[in-house]
Amino acid sequence: MRYHSHNNPTITAQFSQALLASLAPDGGLWMPDKIPNFDTGKQAQLGAMSFADCSSKLAKHFVDDHFSDSDLTDICRDAYDFPVPLKTLSGYELDTATPENVNADFILELFHGPTLAFKDFAARFMGRAASHLLQKSKEKRTILVATSGDTGGAIGDAFLHQKGIDVFILFPQGGVSKVQEQQLTTIGGGNANVHAIAIDGTFDDCQKLVKEAFANKDYTERFNLMSANSINVGRVIPQSFYYFWTSLQIKAAHNDLPIVYSIPSGNLGNLTGGLIAKAMGAPIDRFVIGNNANDPFVDYLNTGEYKGRNSVPTLSNAMDIGRPNNFPRIVKLYNSDFEAIQKVCWGASFTDEETERHMRRVYAESGYIMCPHTAVGHMAMKEFSKDIDMPFASVCVATAHPAKFANSVERILRTDIQLPEPLKKAVSRKKIVHISKPSLDDVMNFIENKS
Ligand SMILES: *Cc1c(COP(=O)(O)O)cnc(C)c1O
């Protein structure tokens, strides 16, 4: 597969170059030239495979000849060694019961990877793919990644001890949950290749610093910078795999129902993955987007006008994004046809009060504990279904384990929640973090001394 800059179709690259360079030389986002399309016969074969093997077959179409079929099988089996369950609020799991008796309202739990958020899917593929390339070429890279909470943990975990790569994670000081901060600042233990930098500012400041670093030729060349944020096409492609595979599982059980996914969104990388899966022919009818108070995309869907803005802090902090960096990709995927986007995407935004109330209601009615992000997506789906009078299968993407937000979830639900094993370990380790002003030179000085 070849890729081109979203600003200029004559600037092109192979997958390997696009992955390691992050942005096109003109500052554009890499876009796949032509998304592969699978007919229903091929889909049936792919849907019958394990998630990991289906992923490696899909990945084959997006990479280049630096990856053999067996490389991809190894990468995907190693990356995706955890379950991808479709559950209902009442605890039913799609592949363990007879479908006829069960409603088709699913929660797709994407939080069973090592850092308990959906970002593991992309980070683990990307980390293995990058290290595969760098081992062959004996090159080095420095990853600079801005995180509003979950990306940093997933990238740090996926790249820990990968040869040829140093990782620097920028997060807003005080802007991530306690458990997230504990995860972010305990990955490398101070002497490995993963380092945390707390920025005295917001997530937008962190994202701006990373963008400035990549726009600076001196820095990108001196440090061989590579981005692990969702501006990198290597992050976005693997996020299509779980939409493709899970939609086929649902179709196999509920053949005649249209399928609608709801996605709690911030930078829109997860949605972009979904839209790519749909373009590959996955049987997905629509996407419902949930935003918190940071809702430039929902505004766009309602008005046709896009206005980036400064972010405000909310309960669902991983979605506190005022200028979603995948917006241009989505517009390009639909050739700037707003009506085409509106046909596929529907959105609604919610306040923190509404989110808290919804989490309490779901817990009271079913005992299911949602993280605040998942709750935003779940509310959006409820809102969407009010206007639809035909039956459909709904799939609410659960983006993180509620224990990652233990402090707020325990306060809202007035119940204790158990920390899963990986979080218990992270919470017991000593934090090592460098604190920096939101200044690019300060950040790069620190990096210079560490790498
Ligand atoms: C990153 C994240 C989101 C937002 O995903 P985008 O791809 O940035 O839209 C939502 N929920 C959680 C828990 C996240 O970590």
Q: pLDDT: is 120 or 27 the higher one?
A: 120
Q: How confident is the model at residue 100 (pLDDT cuts 50, 70, 90)?
A: low
Predicted confidence (pLDDT) at residue 95 exceeds the cutoff of 80: no
Region of poorest pLDDT, from 11-15, 51-55, 283-287, 321-325: 321-325
pLDDT (mean) for 173-185: 90
Predicted confidence (pLDDT) at residue 434 exceeds the cutoff of 70: yes
Taking Cα atoms as reference points, which of 118, 189, 238 lies closest to residue 432? 189
pLDDT (mean) for 79-99: 84
> CATH 3.40.50.1100 in the chain, residues?
82-112+234-417, 116-229+418-451
* Residue 267 CB less than 6 A away from ligand 1: yes
- For 115, residues 6+ apart whose C-beta sits below 8 A from its C-beta are 123, 150, 153, 154, 157, 183, 422
- Report the CATH number of the 116-229+418-451 domain: 3.40.50.1100
**DSSP type of residue 436:** E
* Residue 268 CB less than 6 A away from ligand 1: yes
* Residue 269 CB less than 6 A away from ligand 1: yes
Q: What is the mean pLDDT of the chain?
A: 93
pLDDT (mean) for 308-323: 92
Please say whether the beta carbons of 287 and 261 come within 8 A.
Answer: yes
Residue having the nearest C-alpha atom to atom 8 of ligand 1? 267
- For 151, residues 6+ apart whose C-beta sits below 8 A from its C-beta are 119, 123, 145, 228, 229, 230
Q: pLDDT: is 163 or 355 the higher one?
A: 355
Residue from 107, 111, 116, 118 to probe ligand 1 pocket by mutation (most atoms less than 8 Å from CB): 118
Q: How confident is the model at residue 42 (pLDDT cuts 50, 70, 90)?
A: very high
Percentage above 90 pLDDT, the chain: 80
pLDDT at 102: 61
**DSSP type of residue 316:** S
For residue 281, how many other CB atoms are within 10 A of its CB?
A: 17
pTM of the complete model: 0.94
How do residues 252-298 score in pLDDT, each as one tens digit? 988 889 999 999 999 999 999 999 999 999 999 999 999 999 999 99
Residue from 399, 404, 408, 409 to probe ligand 1 pocket by mutation (most atoms less than 8 Å from CB): 399
In angstroms, rounded to a whole number, what is the distance separating the alpha carbons of residues 56 and 234? Answer: 14
Q: How confident is the model at residue 366 (pLDDT cuts 50, 70, 90)?
A: very high
**Domain at 82-112+234-417: CATH architecture:** 3-Layer(aba) Sandwich (3.40)
How do residues 377-391 score in pLDDT, each as one tens digit? 999 999 999 989 899
How do residues 106-141 score in pLDDT, each as one tens digit? 999 999 999 999 999 999 999 999 999 999 889 999
Predicted confidence (pLDDT) at residue 241 exceeds the cutoff of 60: yes
Percentage above 70 pLDDT, the chain: 98
Q: How confident is the model at residue 168 (pLDDT cuts 50, 70, 90)?
A: very high
In angstroms, rounded to a whole number, what is the distance separating the alpha carbons of residues 49 and 331? Answer: 32
Distance 320 CA to ligand 1 centre (A): 9
pLDDT at 238: 98
pLDDT at 409: 97
Predicted confidence (pLDDT) at residue 53 exceeds the cutoff of 90: yes
Residue having the nearest C-alpha atom to atom 2 of ligand 1? 318
Distance 5 CA to ligand 1 centre (A): 24
